[in-house]
Amino acid sequence: MNPSVIQRAFEDLVNATWREKLLQRLHSLNGSILWIPAFMARGGKERVEWVNELILKHRVNVRTAYPSLRLLHAVRGYWLTNKVHIKRPTTGLLMYTLATRFCNQIYLYGFWPFPLDQNQNPVKYHYYDSLKYGYTSQASPHTMPLEFKALKSLHEQGALKLTVGQCDGAT
């Protein structure tokens, strides 16, 4: 969970209604590990403290994990070594990279770094907001087209299953 989710999808928890919506979402993660890159962006630490307070106060059944900046640099270094010149890995690429250490099969959905899908329908930048963002913008902290190209290549080699259209429910 990128801490920006609290700001963009849950209105910075400004009132009880938004806190309850977040609590419902957290409860739906029952038994999961909530990966929170709290220290990778400005404002993250404060929002993470709010989430932690809710988790503890309401005894939500999730475990939290906080990656260090060293991990971010190690992941970026890994991809640079493999000639993928990313600026800062997306949360998705970070999670994929970690999954390669623990999983025999990896299925990815939602990695599509373009404003329109294959049927020319608009694609959200994040699943939880309506942010309009230049996917190829130099201002972006991410290099999404390069990430996609690398993941597509891994898909073609059989190292992962990348779904870019509608899920068929079989995977």
| Interval 126-155: pLDDT, tens | 666 565 555 555 556 677 788 889 999 999
| Interval 10-46: pLDDT, tens | 999 999 999 999 999 999 999 999 988 877 667 788 8
pTM, 2 dp: 0.73
3-state secondary structure of 63: strand
CA geometry: angle at 45 spanning 13 and 1, to 5°? 65
Q: Is 142 annotated in the active site?
A: yes
> How far, in Å, CA of 99 to CA of 78, rounded?
14
| Interval 44-84: pLDDT, tens | 888 889 999 999 999 999 999 988 888 888 888 888 888 88
State the catalytic residue, choosing from 27, 73, 126, 142.
142
Chain centroid, CA 143 distance in Å = 14
Chain centroid, CA 33 distance in Å = 14
> How far, in Å, CA of 48 to CA of 90, rounded?
18
Hey, what amino acid is at 148?
F
Alpha helices in the chain, H assignment, sequence order: 4-9, 16-28, 44-57, 69-81, 91-102, 144-156
